């Protein structure tokens, strides 16, 4: 089988449980997780290098200049980026790397890494998604509404993903995402080298 | 998610363990298995309706005339075919159907059912494949040679499959094939209806 790792891009609606799914994928299957860099201030409990790499704006701009990110974006006046060095080192070492990233960044990455697997996580229905956001209890109704509007916008780009996985039952969702990754590794295009070797061996026997 | 089942076509080199893998897929994951019809005589221990549907040549020819097979072929003067009624009934009921079939039949099925998943099972190497054939102990060297020659021929068509799964460890192989099937069900093309409904719901909320 080919030695290069897979780049796995996971997006999904706000409130769908992306973070939990990604954490479980790392725990259960040993995937490498890319940690983003950001210029925003650490929140309570966040640890540099685990949750984010916290950077000054000057350092971040410098990294942009040096092509240090495979993608970056601005939200609410803060910069967020995916460090290139980690991703490329892990892929070269044959590790599968997971990025949790929003829609525009995901499509941008697909342009640079056509082999990347794009997975979109969704709730089983819009009403269920809303219930989850309300159920958190921490958000006021205005925030819930804003997130639902954002979900409606994001849904326009769902069809640009290759796979859609429903997060209804967490365990099942984690298994399904893992299946998608395993299947990608079995695709014929990922196994040309192995196949050609097999053919040559069979001819020679 | 779409209600129609998936048609899963499994091929692979003689001696690679297709039969065992297929049996485990049915046992572990509840897939429906298509039983072939044949004009050859039952071997000892074979049961009509479990191993094959044993048919007279006249009955078989009649079924061909009535479009009763989704594919059929002749080997060593015997006819083999995949009954259409079972496959279509199971797919319509939303069940995933497995066919174990050789290369030409598989490509034929892909033409008729473009959504079918084509999976090719291989040993980790040609020498390992040969060892397995020799290891059975039941085959004389001439038969092993013939099967290896056939494997060399079949390998020419491996790249027409969508997925290649290595049967090194049986449990792992069964899991990997299942992953391929699960992933196919998560493909965006298989979920257009669900996605459009989700979009409409989000717009309406």
Q: Among A120, A154, A182, which would you mutate to test the B interface (most chain B Cβ atoms within 10 Å of its Cβ)?
A: A182
| Average confidence (pLDDT) over B114-132 | 93
Taking the alpha carbons at both ends of chain B, their separation in whole angstroms is: 21
Cβ-Cβ pairs closer than 8 A, A with B, add up to 120
Q: Among A174, A198, A204, which would you mutate to test the B interface (most chain B Cβ atoms within 10 Å of its Cβ)?
A: A198
Q: Name B157's Cβ contacts closer than 8 Å, sequence gap at least 6.
A: B103, B107
> CB–CB of A158 and B199 under 8 A?
yes
Shortest CA distance to B33 belongs to which of B97, B115, B80, B101?
B97
CA distance A125 to A111: 30
A138: confidence class by pLDDT, cuts 50, 70, 90: low
| Average confidence (pLDDT) over A61-66 | 96
Nearest CB among B165, B191, B204 relative to A186 is that of: B165
B117: confidence class by pLDDT, cuts 50, 70, 90: very high
Q: Which residues of B touch A186 (CB under 8 A)?
A: 119, 163-165, 176, 179-180
Q: Which residues of A touch B162 (CB under 8 A)?
A: 187-188
| Average confidence (pLDDT) over B113-117 | 93
Rounded to 10 deg, the angle between the A170-186 and A18-29 helix axes is: 60
In this prediction, residue B142 carries a pLDDT of 86
pLDDT beyond 70 at B138: no
pLDDT beyond 80 at A137: no
Mean pLDDT of chain A: 92
Nearest CB among A148, A158, A201 relative to B205 is that of: A148
In this prediction, residue B132 carries a pLDDT of 87
ipTM for the complex?
0.90
| Average confidence (pLDDT) over B191-196 | 94
- DSSP assignment string, A133-147: HHHT-SS-HHHHHHH
Q: Which residues of B touch A162 (CB under 8 A)?
A: 187-188
| Average confidence (pLDDT) over A10-16 | 91
Q: Among B121, B149, B157, B179, which would you mutate to test the A interface (most chain A Cβ atoms within 10 Å of its Cβ)?
A: B179
B138 vs B13, more confident: B13
CB B159 within 8 A of CB B120: no
pLDDT digits (tens, 9 = 90+) for A33-60: 999 999 999 999 999 999 999 999 999 9
Cα separation values, B116 from A164, A191, B193, Å: 19, 20, 19
> In B, what residues contact A, Cβ < 8 A?
1, 119, 122, 125-127, 129-130, 148, 151-152, 155-156, 158-159, 161-166, 175-176, 178-180, 182-184, 186-188, 191-192, 194-195, 198-199, 201-205
pLDDT beyond 60 at B160: yes
pLDDT digits (tens, 9 = 90+) for B11-60: 999 889 999 999 999 999 999 999 999 999 999 999 999 999 999 999 99
> CB–CB of A180 and B182 under 8 A?
yes
């Amino acid at each position: 089988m080919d030695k290069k790792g897979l780049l796995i891009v996971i997006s999904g609606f706000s409130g769908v449980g992306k973070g939990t799914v990604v954490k479980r994928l790392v725990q259960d299957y040993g995937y490498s997780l890319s940690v983003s860099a950001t210029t925003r201030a650490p929140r309570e409990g966040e640890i540099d290098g685990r949750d984010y790499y916290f950077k000054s704006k000057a350092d971040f701009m410098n990294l942009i200049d040096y092509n240090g990110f495979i993608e970056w974006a601005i939200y609410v006046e803060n910069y967020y980026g995916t460090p290139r060095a980690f991703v490329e080192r892990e892929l070269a070492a044959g590790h599968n790397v997971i990025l949790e990233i929003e829609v525009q960044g995901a499509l941008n990455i697909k342009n640079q890494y056509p082999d990347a697997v794009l997975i979109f996580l969704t709730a089983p229905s819009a009403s269920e998604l809303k219930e989850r956001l309300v159920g958190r209890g921490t958000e006021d109704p205005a925030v819930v509404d804003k997130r639902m509007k954002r979900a409606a916008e994001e849904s326009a780009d769902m069809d640009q993903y290759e796979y859609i996985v429903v997060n209804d039952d967490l365990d099942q969702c984690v298994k399904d995402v893992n299946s998608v990754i395993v299947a990608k590794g079995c695709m014929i295009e990922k196994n040309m080298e192995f196949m050609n070797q097999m053919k040559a061996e069979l001819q020679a026997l």
